[in-house]
Amino acid sequence: MCPFYGHPNPPAPCPCPLKQAWGSLDALVGRLRAAYEENGGKPEMNPFGARAVRLYLREVRDLQSKARGVSYEKKKKRKRPPPPPPPQQLSTSVQLPLSSPPLSGEPER
């Protein structure tokens, strides 16, 4: 049994033999299934969609989730914050003076 069994955050790396992570295997099988079908394979004949492959992936997931005594939980999707409101436009127009103020410090006439 793993010395870190039941610890969700172990203090050191687990010394147990490593296997490919379930998520990585699942992604790889998904890419292989898509590539098979993109290259003319029939979906019903796809070896990567076979029942045995699905069962193996489920077994790997279950074993890895129980390896440290912490159950597998799906990642929750983060909610996007609502978009900021559009900037408000001024309904009155502001007119700028056409001439610039004098540079010498004399008051305008």
pTM confidence score: 0.47
Q: What is the pLDDT of residue 107?
A: 58
pLDDT single digits (tens) 18-69: 677 888 889 999 999 999 999 999 989 999 999 999 999 998 888 877 766 6
Q: What is the pLDDT of residue 32?
A: 94
Q: Residue 72 corresponds to which tokens in the numbers above?
A: 């597998």
How many Å apart are CA 84 and CA 78, to the nearest integer? 18
More confident residue, 5 or 109: 5
Mean pLDDT of the chain: 77
Q: What DSSP character marks residue 89?
A: P
How many Å apart are CA 36 and CA 47, to the nearest integer? 9
What are the boundaries of each domain within the chain?
22-66
Q: What is the pLDDT of residue 9?
A: 81
